[in-house]
Chain A
Amino acid sequence: MAHRTRRTRGVRILIALLLVPALACGIDLSAERTHELVRMVRQDCGACHGFTLKGGLGPPLLPESLRDKSVQFLRYTVLFGRPGTPMPPWNAFLTEAEADWIVRQLMTGFPEESR
């Protein structure tokens, strides 16, 4: 039953994402904004996932721990949170393109904060 629910939600996510026209590819974020996003992930997401993203109350967000997850699933998680867990929705503060950028960076090794 739990499996079925997850799959249905997955399908819904997929449809939702296909319907969104302004998807990440080709959208360049400003250097200033990427700087802000790096800080936000390291510091604010870091409150639960750790400053080095190795995990805490939230799971690790290192490339090896995200390998079996899809970009779509992760982007959806960032934007809409995960009900039943402490992961909140960030869509009030992030565009789809920004969430996508964050997910891709996480999957390849998130940048360090530059000072």
Chain B
Amino acid sequence: MRPLFPLLVALLLSACSTAALRGTGDLGIVIERGSGSVAVIDTTARSVLGRVEGLGDLSHASAVYSRDGRYAYVFGRDGGLTKVDLLERRIVRRIMQAGNSIGGSISQDGRLVIAQNYEPGGIKVFDADTLDLLADLPAAYGDGKQFSKVVGLADMPGNKFVYALFDAGEIWIVDLTKPREPEVTKFRDIGRQPYDGLITPDGRHYLAGLFGEDGVALLDLWRPELGVKKILTDYGKGTEKLPVFKMPHLRGWSVAGGRAYLPAIGRHEVLVVDTATWQEVGRIPVKGQPVFVMARPDGRQVWVNFAFPDYSQVQIIDTLTQQVVHTLAPGKAVLHMEFTPRGEQVWISARDDDRVVVFDTTSFARLTELPALNPSGIFFTSRAARIGF
């Protein structure tokens, strides 16, 4: 017994004096828009490691990650761009880069962080290390004196980015091989009011959802010379549109098993498109206006949440049967869902119940719930390794 005692003391002391080493692969953040903070979470322990405060107005905030998964770049509505160190749980740098911002992206090589802005309409390019401004690209259209809101920004292979101009009805590709000398390719008349965009997980196709008309604008990024095609052009034909109380979000989540699952606008349906032919192959009736339609990483399920007033439920589509197989009620005002890297858990934010609920995606069992202040977006570090975020 006695020889063990000094050893124990030594062990205890060493535990006190140095922080344990850890990786970041199972970490993430939850945006707490009620308090302008982010909660740093651990998906293995299913716990909150701590909070980072002082991030400003976080309504519609989103985040991207450095390649090593250590730093989150958080884009706030107020134009704030904050670099957060997940391990030390502190702000590394914070700048105000615009008057009104809705998100951003990070380049393939991790060196450029791009903000997409409503006001002033355009994108800005920053050095990922220092957040120094490298380029400013106003989204000028028409007579060149108007600037469009930018939506649906996604990174492409080759340090290029693709995005849509809500007011102008255009898609732009910017090549940032030389960040201070951006080269822009414009696609005009792509359809009315593109509201968001997604790039397929292989980085090949860009889809911009249209609000002002039925359909989705499709661009083959391997063959941009073919121009933008419209798909799903008549899904709403002959029927009165239902009101849309919240815009759907596309981004890069909804491709599974050779099919893309997309929210219909003004219909309580998920549209299914074959990604080989880009023809509609099905429609799946769901509870309300879909907001996020997200494929589990293995593609076996697609999870859907909804706009007000149906936003307290989540439905799960089985991708073999193309039917809703389960409906969950995680809490009031579900804003976002995020899968763990290999998809065994999903984390769901219930804004008005001030909690994040964690579910097992096989049994749908509620594994745990964590308190959070008006939680909205949930972003895991596994995004660092995916195209299109």
Contacts and interface: CB of A to CB of B under 8 A. Distances in A.
Interface stretch (B131-139, B227-235, B240-248, B271-279): B240-248
B245 A50 contact: no
B119 interface: yes
B351 A56 contact: no
A28 B175 CA distance: 58
Nearest to A48: B247
B57 A47 contact: no
Size bin of chain A's contact surface: 20 to 34
Size bin of chain B's contact surface: 20 to 34
Contacts of B149: 57
A113 B246 CA distance: 20
A113 B99 CA distance: 23
B245 A44 contact: yes
Question: DSSP majority for the B interface?
Answer: loop
A55 B102 CA distance: 11
Nearest to A44: B308
B77 A52 contact: yes
A51 B247 CA distance: 15
Contacts of B246: 44, 47-48
A57 B247 contact: yes
Interface stretch (A6-14, A70-78, A86-94): A86-94
Contact of A86 (B247, B308, B351, B352): B247
Interface of A: 39, 43-44, 46-48, 50-52, 54-57, 81, 84, 86, 88-89, 93, 113, 115
Interface of B: 33-34, 57-60, 77-78, 99-100, 102, 118-119, 149, 151, 166, 193, 195, 211-212, 243-247, 308-309, 333, 351-352, 374
25 contacts: A43-B333, A43-B374, A46-B59, A47-B60, A47-B246, A50-B57, A50-B77, A51-B57, A51-B58, A51-B59, A52-B57, A54-B77, A54-B100, A56-B77, A56-B102, A57-B118, A57-B166, A84-B212, A86-B193, A86-B195, A86-B244, A86-B247, A88-B243, A89-B243, A115-B34
